[in-house]
Amino acid sequence: MFEEFILDLKVARKKSGLTQGDCGHLLGGSNHKISQMERGERPPTIEEICALSLIYGRNFESLFGEVFAQVRDNLAKNMETLPEPATQHPGGFNRSNTLEALAQRLLEESQPGYAV
């Protein structure tokens, strides 16, 4: 999963025509910051992910599609074993609706042809 992210990050930068120095500067650092990410030595922060999405003109899911696919799989597995709450509370209705909506999104997004 992380290997594909690294490759996507490199490809996105190269397609943009920007150097590691350019991207590092735009992120408020140096080319070392981008180099570390592209070598897989450190993951980007949330702020860097947002900035990279803007720099490369790609939405978050397309830049990190493989990560989202793994997260979707993990969520679907975890939903199967989610325990019922010990007691009902006022937010129970919202909980049910939230879980149903999540299950529907996971189902839709797992279909072939789903556009990331």
Domain boundaries, the chain: 2-63, 67-109
Span 93-100, average pLDDT: 81
Q: What is the pTM of this model?
A: 0.63
Span 84-109, average pLDDT: 80
CB 27 within 8 A of CB 86: no
Span 12-17, average pLDDT: 92
The whole-chain average pLDDT of the chain stands at 84
Q: What is the DSSP string of the chain?
A: -HHHHHHHHHHHHHHHT--HHHHHHHTTS-HHHHHHHHTTSSPPPHHHHHHHHHHHT--HHHHTHHHHHHHHHHHHHHHHTPPPPSS--TTHHHHHHHHHHHHHHHHHHTSTT---
CB 60 within 8 A of CB 51: no
Residue 20: which of 9, 35, 5, 8 has the closest Cα? 35
Q: 2-63 in CATH: which number? A: 1.10.260.40
pLDDT given at position 63: 67
Please determine, for residue 9, whether its predicted confidence score (pLDDT) is greater than 90: no
Which residues in 29-50 are b (16+ Cβ under 10 Å) and which e? Answer: eebebbebbbeeeeebeeebee
